[in-house]
């Protein structure tokens, strides 16, 4: 067990493909790779890093285009991000990880596990993208032609202070409808940097259109039979609805599903102790996946056990699974 400091871990930098990558690392033990969501950075994990670092090596990078990492004109697709995480881990001398992804970072985590199963021990999705079409109108608006200019106007000093201050104030109102507004205010603050705005626009256009999410793991979810999978969602999420956890339960029946009451889109920030307990129990009670090309080939040859609803190119998105009914539609289960 490593010695844990109460101070936040120091931000480190490494250059990969000529681009600066910022990350923090803490603790000792099996590696947890924590991937943040859209417009955030590694600090979104600050409430849980030190607790997790008591038993694990925790690596939390700033994804390209975010935080203190470089913001080049580059590949901002989920596949590109998965490649970037593989290369960062290689530079750091890390072979295998339990990958934990929040929101857009969950999409990157899924893609990482899909592209590099030999380097993935477990997959943990936190209020993740890629499990259904629905997403907040704020994210869909990023795909519109005037987004960059409109947000640029909002970032004028007096306007920004008013908008961000209002969102922070509303975020203190104890209702489910305002729960995530304080975090959205922090994301808006990052848009002061026009490079960050441009990077986020590139990211969103890869995965979302005006009708909702485009990129999905639904057709490949059956491959998670090969590794333990945990899905964590706040019941009051207004960014990506908690019903997507029900989609995950159908698409990956062996996954462990945990709904966190009185939590929104950031359950790891709303209830950090509960989140840490869930994650640590999942890691402690599951065996890390071991890659077998023969088994992977068998899964690919057989395909999914159940059909998944998919829209045709150019059509409106459809829900990948029937929506379960009733308050017990999603229950906790044990992964492999």
Active site residues: 103, 237, 265
For the record, the structure tokens of 304 come out as 């999914």
> What number of helices (H) and strands (E) belong to the chain?
12, 10
HSE at residue 194, side-chain half, CA atoms within 13 A, is: 6
Angle between helices 181-190 and 157-171 (to 10 degrees): 160
136, 208 contact by CB (below 8 A): no
143, 220 contact by CB (below 8 A): no
139, 211 contact by CB (below 8 A): no
- Quick count: other Cβ atoms within 10 Å of Cβ 145? 7
The dihedral built from the CA positions of residue 62, 124, 181 and 321, taken in this order, carries a sign that is positive
Strands 12-16 and 19-26: antiparallel
Q: Report the alpha-carbon distance of residue 335 to residue 169 in Å, rounded.
A: 40
For the record, the structure tokens of 110 come out as 């899924």
């Amino acid at each position: 067990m490593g010695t844990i400091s109460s101070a936040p871990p120091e931000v480190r930098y490494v250059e990969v493909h000529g681009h600066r990558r910022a990350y923090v690392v803490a603790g000792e033990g099996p590696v947890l790779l924590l991937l943040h969501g859209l417009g955030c950075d590694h600090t979104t994990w600050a409430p849980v890093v030190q607790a997790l670092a008591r038993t694990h090596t925790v690596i939390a990078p700033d994804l390209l285009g975010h935080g203190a990492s470089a913001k080049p004109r580059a590949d901002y697709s989920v596949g590109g991000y998965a490649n970037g995480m593989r290369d960062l881990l290689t530079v750091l001398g890390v072979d295998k990880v339990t990958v934990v992804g929040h929101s857009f970072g969950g999409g990157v985590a899924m893609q990482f596990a899909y592209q590099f199963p030999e380097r993935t021990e477990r997959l943990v999705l936190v209020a993740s993208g890629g499990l259904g079409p629905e997403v907040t109108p704020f994210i869909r608006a990023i795909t519109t032609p005037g987004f960059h200019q409109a947000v640029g106007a909002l970032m004028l000093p007096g306007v920004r202070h008013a908008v961000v201050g209002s969102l922070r104030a509303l975020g203190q109102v104890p209702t489910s409808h305002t729960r995530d507004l304080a975090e959205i205010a922090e994301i808006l603050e990052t848009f002061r940097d026009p490079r960050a705005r441009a990077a986020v626009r590139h990211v969103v256009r890869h995965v979302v259109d005006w009708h909702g999410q485009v990129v999905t793991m639904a057709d490949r979810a059956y491959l998670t039979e090969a590794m333990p999978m945990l899905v964590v969602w706040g019941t009051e999420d207004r960014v990506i609805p908690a019903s997507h956890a029900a989609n995950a339960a159908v698409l990956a029946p062996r996954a462990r599903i945990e709904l966190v009451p009185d939590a929104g889109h950031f359950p790891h920030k709303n209830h950090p102790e509960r989140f840490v307990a869930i994650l640590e129990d999942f890691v402690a009670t599951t065996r890390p996946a071991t890659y077998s090309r023969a088994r992977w080939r068998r899964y690919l040859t057989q395909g999914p056990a159940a059909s998944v609803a998919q829209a045709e190119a150019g059509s409106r998105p459809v829900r990948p699974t029937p929506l379960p009914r009733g308050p017990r539609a999603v229950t906790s289960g044990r992964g492999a």
